[in-house]
Chain A
């Protein structure tokens, strides 16, 4: 069914999509609740060509870097079309870009022409004018905003290009012919969780290799709802993939998500774990508020589904296998699982139809599967959606690998892993201390499966390098192998399991190593905890900074109006203390040195762009700097008082 368009470069892909899909909608944006505006593949391509011609007229050279500052909107895609079709490279960044980042990126990437989304952003750029000596031309994307003198409007550039094309201007077509697979299509500055931004150079070949092998099947009857920032490579690759499949992408946002899910009834969706956590909590909340009969029905359905799927997973070898399979165990257990499966199936059938289907309807009802990336998905949430019948394909990747390295397969989901490596991608697990290859290694037991180490990858998706940073490039890529900086292992059914960042590892004074991420993930599942960061590098014990959840405490009837007020209430500290004790305990499988000995409440939420990246990952160094005083408090020379767990 799936006949995605394959091409040598993005411009060619855009052209082929216009030829094949013509008037089918490519993108749709919402005006009012039920009023959406579609733009067809043909229209998008023609206007893209106009824009490309207009840009050439403006003086944009082939392979020149063009800034693209803004968030998801149709004009963003149009700007990207224009850029690709004139053989240039875009340097994208979201609306939340800080002034420092803007100065750094524009100067470092040597940007002469930049698209700017809104008036607010425009003012920001103009304010920094003195520090941006190379920036010559600015193009305003928002069609409803007035452009001040010296700033171009997107529509004007398009109109200029259209006139030139009508007179027979073929310069854009010439440019398209001269794009080489090894040319860049984008230069993405990673917000990074450490250090200053690095410009990741991604080529047309990188992108096309992804489009070719993404193991998801979409056709022009599918609908994709988009809520992730478009300038991030995960969303970007996904949108190019949808273009190649003729799928229409509908732009949504967090605020309207519930409505849009119902109206658009997406068949596929890409998202960060945060959204699934959100949806999970919403569903559970609705269940807990329903009256007892409905609750009973839901829990029965969930229980049956778990029995059914667990047996099914076992019979098809899809359970998480961290240890070698024992033949005896399989022989003994298989008939038992088969029996359970046969008994449960009719009941599961009824409850799946009567109870779980309405739950699925709250997510639109047509979702065939969803993809989660940009962070680890808590395993409880992962299980929940798979049991409820919305398969979540967790993927793994990074900007430097444009981005997919591994992703679960629709018909072979192994919960707790990120699936097998993508086609043409090789994965190595390396010993952190000795630097030896653990997997694949014929000398290791089971070729090195089930042993943890640092993940290195090699494949057509690996970036060309960091722009103007050869040392950093050679630190990261050695002999074609890219160091992901993540810890992981290969399971016995050949899936990759991620075990945390090798760099985020906290080494305690005692020399014990621990991964903060799993502990943080566990804690943030408490309804009372919004965010949490574990600290303790080179200390005797670990501590935690905790942003309590105002919503969670409100559910309990607190009168606090803001987080600041909330953290002042003594009971709040007690509640959190109990939560930590309950969740992170020896009896829950944590080691003694993983127990949180002390914590501090933070009266200010972590914000995207400051403490959090756009994918809600914590920027540890930013938080560490900002709350240095609070952290120090937890480690006084003598024993600390108060707040102890």
Chain B
């Protein structure tokens, strides 16, 4: 599928830029210095999260590109999405999915910083084959020189995106109340802009959604789903508590979409820019839906464990750190009977 015209008009690009700015600003407004400290509190969780975010996700993205034989521009786009750090929306979903919000925030924070190092390496590693394809096509068309992944541009865009995050954090430091408003407003604006972009893309390129081959839809949807699934099983395999399993699962599948937009806009040129953007838009749209459903599902299956966790930790908050809660025999299922506080209170751990 070829884009005969540009996917985004200049006005849309401005809007998108505003959206990226406000969402990243909102992300910063939700963070405090303490969140960086919590990273240290969950070394195991963070490590497993790191493995699934930067180990599994890029690999799945690459595999999908190979499996569905995606055109190179789409392939690079989906790999880019696979290599992204986690977004703040995952924190919200973790909260409602009765997962560990602290771990989710810590993972988002850690991965955003690590992305500066990991993204260029991973992109270089996984996209080699596809950049060669593009270069060959371009040679054949006689339009250009060799196509390479603009690594330094990507790092620059990442740094640029972190500026509003830092500004948001500064606002949070100055006025938590305003920061909360900024956060909500940013979330709301994000939704409006996404809806607008999809709407206009649909209206302008009539039939764009129909023209898009089914494998592109499938890869845009599955990359998130695979992240949820394997993030969950990986942390389960490593015997993390249910609340951490749910947080890691969501964190792995939900990527920071706005960063993808920023990188694509700032580092890639036509003819592949529109195609890459289209996939990013599709991913961002579908991930909201899939993670909503996953969250509702986790919310249901995690209800009992979470109530136990909550009640147990509140006992410690009110009765002191050394209080041990003994539930009636057979009340707790095996997965949490050894530690009803799910790893958050040392005293609650029993042999």
Contacts from A to B (Cβ < 8 Å): 1, 20-25, 28, 34-38, 219-223, 246, 250, 263-265, 267, 290-291, 293-294, 297, 349-350, 353-355, 358, 366
Contact = CB atoms under 8 A, between A and B. Distances in A.
Given A264-B318, A293-B185, A221 B311 contact: yes
B129 interface: no
A223 B314 contact: yes
A278 to B, nearest CB: 23
B349 interface: no
B323 A264 contact: no
Contact of B187 (A1, A35, A350): A350
B199 to A, nearest CB: 14
27 contacts: A20-B328, A24-B325, A24-B326, A24-B327, A28-B318, A34-B317, A35-B318, A36-B319, A37-B319, A38-B315, A38-B318, A38-B319, A219-B307, A220-B311, A220-B331, A221-B307, A222-B307, A250-B318, A263-B314, A267-B307, A293-B185, A294-B184, A297-B184, A297-B188, A349-B292, A350-B187, A354-B184
Contact of B310 (A35, A220, A265, A355): A265
Contacts, number: 74
Given A223-B311, A353-B96, A354-B188, A22 B326 contact: yes
A23 B323 CA distance: 11
Contact of B181 (A20, A265, A293): A293
Interface string B169-208: 0000000000011001101100100000000000000000
Contacts of B96: 353
A350 B328 contact: no
B92 interface: yes
B308 interface: yes
A366 B181 contact: no
Contacts of B314: 223, 263-265
A38 B323 contact: yes
A246 B188 CA distance: 42
Contact of B184 (A23, A28, A355, A366): A355
Contacts of A25: 315, 319, 325
Interface of B: 92, 96, 180-181, 184-185, 187-188, 191, 292, 304, 307-308, 310-311, 314-315, 317-320, 323, 325-328, 331
Contacts of B318: 28, 34-36, 38, 250, 263-264
Q: Which of B187, B292, B308, B311 has most chain A Cβ within 10 Å?
A: B311
Closest 6 CB pairs of A and B: A36-B318, A221-B307, A221-B311, A23-B326, A354-B184, A38-B319
A111 B331 CA distance: 43
Contacts of A353: 92, 96
Contacts of B327: 24, 220
B298 to A, nearest CB: 14
Contacts of A294: 180-181, 184
A293 B328 CA distance: 49
Nearest to A260: B318
B181 A291 contact: yes
Nearest to B320: A35
Contacts of A250: 318
Given A221-B310, A294-B184, A353-B92, 10 more contacts: A22-B326, A22-B328, A35-B318, A37-B319, A38-B319, A219-B307, A221-B307, A297-B185, A297-B188, A350-B187
A563 B241 CA distance: 58
A362 to B, nearest CB: 13
Contacts of A34: 317-318
Contact of A21 (B310, B315, B323, B328): B328
B304 to A, nearest CB: 8
A263 B313 CA distance: 11
A10 to B, nearest CB: 21
A358 B30 CA distance: 14
Nearest to A38: B319
Contacts of A21: 328
A293 B96 CA distance: 24
Contacts of B92: 353-354
Given A354-B184, A354-B188, A246 B315 contact: no
Nearest to A293: B181
Contacts of B315: 25, 38
A223 B96 CA distance: 20
Contacts of B185: 293, 297
Nearest to A347: B191
Contacts of A358: 180
B329 to A, nearest CB: 9
Contacts of B323: 38
Nearest to A1: B304
Contacts of A349: 292
Contacts of A290: 181
A422 to B, nearest CB: 26
A256 B310 CA distance: 22
A294 B176 CA distance: 13
Contact of B188 (A20, A220, A350): A350
A291 B314 CA distance: 33
Contact of B328 (A1, A24, A35): A24
A263 B326 contact: no
A186 B319 CA distance: 32
A302 to B, nearest CB: 14
Q: Name the residue in A221, A263, A290, A294 with the highest tally of chain B Cβ atoms < 10 Å from its Cβ.
A: A221
Nearest to B190: A350
A24 B181 CA distance: 41
Nearest to A21: B328
Contacts of A350: 187-188, 191
Contacts of A291: 181
Contacts of B187: 350, 354
A542 B311 CA distance: 53
A293 B180 CA distance: 11
Contacts of A246: 328
B351 to A, nearest CB: 17
Contacts of A223: 311, 314
A24 B188 CA distance: 44
Contacts of A297: 181, 184-185, 188
A22 B325 CA distance: 11
Contacts of A23: 326
A1 B307 CA distance: 12
Nearest to B311: A221
A366 B314 CA distance: 12
B4 to A, nearest CB: 32
